[in-house]
């Protein structure tokens, strides 16, 4: 049994207060993060951005779009020229089959560029006609020059004054092509024949270099 406190000891006593027994409310749980957007939502956002960009492009005007298109064409042409230049360098180190395949590809690319060039600039085709006539020479009494009907109409002013040349329409020819027929000579100036001659020359040069 504990001893009783004397009156003098109560002077330094400190009152003790029992802690409260109230229950604290639990802390609220943090809100869950937002769910990521669905595939459909992302596609909708992308489509909206595309439409907005298209509308903005239209607002800038047709002239700017045309200039951008020309720049893209120049870039592609420069890229093709680089590829063709790269083709001509390693031919001496390649097998015959690979070299021929690369040369044929280069010729096809050149053909794709030549056709529109002759259509856009009739003077180029006029120069080709003169080269063909020079190859025939003046020994032929008369030669027949066959051209695509559209080319014939365009080239008539360029070919005025040519003696001994009879002009004929040939719908089987493409734009930029020609055939020249004489008594003892025939020149096939179709694009396929001209490019094949380039291909044969390239392959022959490769064979001679080996």
Q: Which domains does the chain have, with CATH numbers?
A: 89-210 (3.30.2320.30)
DSSP state of 159: T
Indicate whether this model's pTM tops 0.85. Answer: no
At 57-74, the pLDDT tens digits run 544 554 555 455 556 555
Comparing C-alpha atoms, which of 202, 152, 144 is closest to residue 177?
Answer: 152
At 126-177, the pLDDT tens digits run 887 888 888 777 666 688 889 888 888 888 777 777 778 888 899 998 888 8
Angle at 207 between CA 201 and CA 210, to 5 degrees: 140
């Amino acid at each position: 049994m504990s001893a009783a406190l004397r009156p003098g000891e109560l002077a330094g006593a400190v009152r003790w207060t029992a802690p409260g027994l109230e229950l604290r409310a639990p802390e609220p749980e943090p809100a869950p993060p937002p769910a990521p957007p669905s595939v459909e939502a992302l596609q909708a956002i992308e489509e909206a951005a595309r439409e907005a960009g298209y509308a903005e492009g239209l607002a800038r005007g047709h002239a700017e779009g045309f200039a951008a298109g020309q720049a893209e064409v120049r870039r592609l042409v420069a890229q093709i020229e680089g590829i063709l230049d790269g083709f001509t360098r390693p031919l001496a180190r390649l097998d015959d089959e690979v070299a021929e395949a690369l040369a044929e590809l280069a010729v096809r690319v050149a053909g794709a560029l030549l056709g529109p060039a002759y259509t856009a600039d009739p003077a180029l085709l006029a120069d080709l006609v003169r080269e063909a006539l020079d190859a025939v020479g003046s020994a032929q009494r008369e030669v027949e020059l066959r051209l695509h009907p559209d080319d014939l109409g365009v080239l008539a002013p360029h070919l005025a004054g040519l003696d001994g040349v009879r002009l004929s329409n040939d719908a089987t020819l493409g734009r930029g092509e020609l055939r020249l027929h004489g008594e003892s000579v025939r020149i096939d100036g179709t694009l396929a024949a001209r490019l094949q001659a380039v291909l044969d020359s390239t392959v022959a040069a490769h064979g001679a270099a080996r």
